[in-house]
Chain A
């Protein structure tokens, strides 16, 4: 088992005829993901690598019975694309797009919740269940199947840690990139709860960063509701306050969201916190 996606997930790619969408759709197919179609308004009726392209999500879902959608369209169109997927009844929507205004995301996240669709992201690398399927841009080479669940705000840092785990002979059940934006569809706690309930996940690695309080809320959950061991790393100990470090959400603001306060909360909750991401495998051994 795994969380969110497996070899049976039926995936649509919104923006499949675009450069990014097409490139990653091919890599997903090569990994074994069942990509059953794509959506690009105005290109319905075309084909992409043997799968149909539709004008609308409603038509795509009706024809393919897809349960998962990957949003790869630019920031100006992504909020509409996510809502279109939720409206069409897609239960899992993963959005890679960076630079979506927060005001849009507040509406979109609320809309998805009301329709019962789970949104992951935006501004995230996606989800990968090693050996089964990947939806997003996580490179195949960074993980082998195994029993550690990984949840992260960041892309390349996750690859770094996955790769270190692989070199240490530690496999992964599912990697979930939740994204580095201030308002996101799925939080650390949502994913921790799923890992706690997933029989194939025995341990969890959490990769956080400065900004907001999601890691503090996660620490509460780890303390009160988790039995599985958690190893963690928090990026941004050397970041100055008041500066946004690349990710829209990565800012220590009004004394809130510093790496040190997150590390303290996680340690107090019983998580083992590494000061070097390459040391994460030691904490999971």
Chain B
């Protein structure tokens, strides 16, 4: 779960990391009030869950309250990469002498936390990693021992940070590590961490991503979820406990298991891409696939008006295909889809399952034997409707 910049920085502040004392505004008037209260030039920053806000015009420097009001009016309601800006952060402008990059993330390959730090902060880290990989200091942390003092010194020294700042940098790094651990973050990033004209360190921008699997023990952070940019179907799925992601094709996919769900999507694209036909969604119905789950999944898939055909691919292992078939019929009668459904049941009790489907004699249900055949039939069904 991503936190907004302001949520990330307010979280940093709780761990003792210095941040600018800005506030969030939802209207131009609020932005102007915050700016006049701060009494200095301010930065008005769009709060949306996408990168590249600055380039999109979502970050503006305002000299006074009137300018802050005008910029806030421009930015609020702005569409940045498909997301509408609903709030802005109004921060006092900082006197920037030097920009540092500092982040802690999970290194999947190493199976341990990784600190990345660079004196060339401010820019996109992926860009820096491509152009000047040696400018980034990387330090792995033993997950059982945690961050050691000598590692902090090593990082400050190796990145070439002037000695005058080692103490405050060390404090910030230790705080950020505590924040990363205690918040179950996948990423805790300060970019930039600036050295001001007065020689203070200040976290001017921040990004925190929380591990979804740890939200059960992070109720305060879970409550900060902003799903306003999320398609309604995805919110519905999350509430139903179904793993679903909306895409922009025409074939609605219902599959058991994440790997097979991705594979089923790939197959619709493999056979349909020449005709610009592809998957409308990722959907993993999980184990069991009870009638209630199948019905909920079908409703979610059909809530996408672009769907021209539903492809159900179930490989029954522990899941029994006859039970899934019952679930499909119940769901069918409840939801009454107007689009054709291609159904492929394989594995445990597949012949019983297929018999249940064929006996029901529903005209717009098409049976398939293999995944290949199922994908081809679904593509053909979409073409027929076009």
Choose from A27, A238, A248, A277 the contact partner of B371 (Cβ within 8 Å). Answer: A277
Render B248-277 as a binary contact track against A, CB cut-off 8 A, 1 for contact. 000000011111111101111110000000
Q: CB-defined interface of B127-146 with A at 8 Å, one 1/0 digit per residue? A: 00000000000000011100
Most buried by B among A141, A158, A246: A246
Given the known inter-chain contacts A156-B256, A163-B315, please indicate yes or no for A237 contacting B266, CB distance below 8 A.
yes
B212 touches A248 (CB 8 A): yes
Interfacial residues of chain B within 257-312, with CB under 8 A of chain A in the complex? 257-263, 265-270, 278-279, 282, 284
Inter-subunit contact A106/B260 (CB<8 Å):
no
* Contact (Cβ within 8 A) A157 B260: yes
| CB–CB A142/B317 < 8 A | yes
Inter-chain contact A154/B347, CB cutoff 8 Å: no
Those of A236-256 within 8 Å (CB) of chain B: 236-240, 243-250, 254-255
| Contact A110–B112 (Cβ < 8 Å) | yes
Q: Is B243 close to A, CB under 8 A?
A: yes
Known pairs A110-B111, A182-B106 / 20 extra A-B pairs, C-beta < 8 Å: A100-B213, A101-B213, A102-B106, A152-B259, A153-B259, A154-B258, A156-B255, A159-B315, A159-B317, A160-B315, A183-B106, A209-B259, A217-B109, A238-B262, A238-B269, A239-B262, A247-B258, A248-B212, A249-B108, A276-B371
Residues A276 and B372 in contact, CB atoms below 8 Å apart = yes
B108 and A278 form a contact (CB under 8 A): no
Q: Which residues of A contact B112 (CB under 8 A)?
A: 106, 110
Q: Is B211 an interface residue (CB 8 A)?
A: yes
Q: Which residue of B lies closest to A104 (CB)?
A: B214
B111 to A183, Cβ gap below 8 A? yes
Tell whether, in the assembled complex, residue B216 and residue A76 are in contact, meaning their CB atoms are under 8 Å apart: yes
Check B126–A106 contact: CB distance below 8 A.
no
B126 pairs with A156, CB closer than 8 A: no
Interface residues on chain B, number (Cβ under 8 Å): 51
Q: What CA separation (Å) do A239 and B113 show in the bound complex?
A: 27
Chain A, residue nearest B318 (CB): A137
Q: Does A264 touch B at the CB level, under 8 Å?
A: no
Min Cβ gap A139→B in Å is: 4
Q: How far is the CA of A248 from the CA of B265 in the complex (A)?
A: 18
Q: Are A245 and B317 in contact (CB under 8 A)?
A: no
Give the top 10 A-B pairs by smallest Cβ distance, nearest first. Answer: A154-B259, A246-B258, A156-B257, A157-B259, A101-B214, A106-B143, A139-B317, A156-B260, A235-B262, A238-B269
Partner of A246, one of B181, B217, B261, B267: B261
Cβ–Cβ contact B262 & A209, under 8 A: yes
The residue of chain B having its C-beta at the shortest distance from the C-beta of A27 within the complex is B318
* Interface residues, chain B, with chain A CB atoms under 8 Å away: 106, 108-109, 111-113, 126, 142-144, 181, 184, 186, 211-214, 216-217, 243, 245, 247, 255-263, 265-270, 278-279, 282, 284, 315-318, 346-348, 370-372
B315 touching A240 by the CB < 8 A rule? no
Question: A158, A217, A238: which has the most chain B beta carbons within 10 Å?
Answer: A238
Q: Which residue of A lies closest to B271 (CB)?
A: A276
Question: A212 an interface residue at 8 Å Cβ cutoff?
Answer: yes
**Minimum C-beta distance from A62 to chain B (A):** 26
A232 close to chain B: CB less than 8 A: no
Q: Among B142, B217, B258, which residue has its beta carbon within 8 angstroms of that of A250?
A: B258
Given A102-B211, A278-B371; A157-B263 close (CB under 8 Å)? yes
A66 within 8 A of B: no
Collect the chain B residues with CB atoms within 8 Å of residue A92's CB: none
Name which of B213, B259, B284, B372 has the most chain A CB atoms within 10 A of its CB.
Answer: B259
Query: How many angstroms between the C-alpha atoms of A254 and B263 in the bound complex?
Result: 22
Q: Is A65 an interface residue (CB 8 A)?
A: no
A243 to B265 alpha-carbon distance, docked (Å): 14
Contact assessment for A245 and B282 in the assembled complex, using a CB-CB cutoff below 8 Å: yes
Tell whether A99 is near chain B: CB-to-CB under 8 Å.
yes
The distance in angstroms between the C-alpha atoms of A209 and B282, with both chains bound, is 14
Of all chain B residues, which has the CB nearest A158? B259
Contact in complex: A155, B113 (CB < 8 Å) = no
A245 and B214 alpha carbons, distance in the complex (Å): 18
Q: Across the interface, which residues of A come within 8 angstroms of B371, CB to CB? A: 160, 276-278
Q: Which of A75, A100, A107 contacts B143 (CB 8 A)?
A: A107
Which of A75, A103, A243, A276 counts the most chain B CB atoms within 10 A?
A: A103
State the Cβ distance, B352 to closest chain A Cβ, in Å: 14
From the candidates B212, B260, B370, name the one contacting A154 in the complex (CB within 8 A): B260
